[in-house]
Structure 1
Amino acid sequence: MTFPSDRTSTRAAASGPEAHPRPRPLTADLLERLQGVRDALPVESVMVRRHADDPGIEVLAGRRLFTEAERRALPFDSPEYSYSVVCAAVAVEPAPRLPLVGVGLGRIAADAVAALKARSAALLGDDEQMDRFAADVLGLRSGGRWREAVSTALLGDWPAPLFSGDPIGPCALAGLRKEAATRHAQLTPLWRRRVRNARLLSLDAPLADGLSLAGLVTGGRSAEDSVIAREPDDPRLAALLRSLGPAERAVVEAWGDGAVGTWTEAAIRAGEADPCATGERVRRKVRRWTAEQERRGALRR
């Protein structure tokens, strides 16, 4: 990055110190016009100087030949600056000195300037300006976790092209937007994310009567599970086993093992050739038998 005060040229040497007159003050109208200059092209070099009338403003210029009308809009009158266009005049105090650039095509120039301003705002903790940048430039939501995500992304290495003399282009801004979205996803708790348009819930999620989702998931056993889980000398279990064939009885006995989680696993342990079909058939048979026993018990009451 080259500062005008450090630059030398044969034209400046020949013309003497008057070749670089004092810059005119930058009005708000001029700032707006300069930041919205159309047709800005990537620059070959970047020049930054501190404005003489306001030490809190840095003027950024990129080399390019402009028409006479465009040149008259610049805050510099010397021929040295007739090849430059001011792309940004950014308040930098009390923020640390930052590399700045605002060149590209059309909207990209203004967006690059806005991104650099938002970077300064992130360093200063200016939440309002960061929220505006997130909504207006990145098209993201603002506030809460989005603000933290955008702030973290702004302080990343997306301005790296500046340090090698290259301009900030659309790829850098797209990378900034992607990084902000990635950071937001990382900051979002698992139970607030959505998978296939369905929300995930934490096992600690409270339910009615002081129960939690974890208690509902781990504690819900069906009626047939209660029958099979009893000791072998239980008369109901003995009656159930007598109603089944040898192969089905082996599946039910395997299901009674606490290490087995599904009827398919029980059928696999019983050595069935088609564990899915056999497991489902035995499950339905056990369910029908259990329902019949409950019906008979209700009639006896």
Structure 2
Amino acid sequence: MLGTDASYLLGAYKPLPVPAADRSAVTELLLDAVRASGAVYGLLMADTYVVAMSRAKQQPALHPDDVLLLANFVTCNNAYRHGHGEAFSPVCMPHYNSDAFLHAYIHYLDASSGLYFVLLSGSAEAFHQLSAARLWFEDQASAQGLLSRMRSICPPKLTGTSNDIITRSPQPRQLNVLSVENLPRPLGGKFGHTPLWSYSVRFRQMQQAIFSPPCPLHCSPPGAARLAASYTQLHSLLHSPAATGRPNKLAWFASSAAVLVGARDREMDVYLVCDPLTDKSTALALLDAMRRHFSDRGIVGDVALLPPV
């Protein structure tokens, strides 16, 4: 996971693109399940992507590192995915409390799409309450048609051998909102028709990061690793200032492999990986266009978990 996923480095978790209305409805059901069961947190996830998240009153927001640890804990244990039942396990969430465990109720709602439900409780005796809350959530979400829609929006997967190009079945339109091809001009275009290859945007206040689907050069496991290394290099350039107390606001690196450009402000960090022939003025224009695009709350609402207004 860490070799091909830069979200851990950015200190952010990845939201799954979901229509804002559906995410809001799922979040409300999750909140009701948390209240009814006495849990402290509730999450609906698809592999390492967060679909929705709720928390009990007076609980702090989960730290992104804790979300990533939880996702890694669940997805790396095939027994949870293929056990055809419910699991209850202690988990350490170090940013929440490094000296104690929370108890995670885990149930896969759909193993094929990687959709699973998690309730976190402070009690080791809470299994039956958590199980009942999950059953209620599943019934309500099914009755509203939410589960079928969530199952259809499964996250992309990297599979195959080290040199294989990944072939994917056609993705639902909602997942394509992040693709470079579907971005407005001058950002968007088919591969080879735009200098932009891949991008990531980290929303600083929300502690979430979105990533474009990989271009053809990054669809194999080695390609995904190269892309993650590019984001790592950009992050290092942007967050390792030459002078103490004077953080970099812009990073630029050009090589025969790619042009990397990144910028940060109070709202977001933007990372772009471009064609190696991209000149600096073009890259900076793309950077500015990307910031304007994802400053639109209506656009962000379909790709990230918005905080309550």
> Which has a greater percent of strand?
2
Q: Under a length normalisation based on structure 1, what TM-score does the superposition of the two structures give?
A: 0.23
Larger radius of gyration, structure 1 or 2?
A: 1
> Which has a greater percent of helix?
1
With a CA cutoff of 8 Å and minimum separation of 6, indicate the structure with the bigger relative contact order.
2
Q: Under a length normalisation based on structure 2, what TM-score does the superposition of the two structures give?
A: 0.23
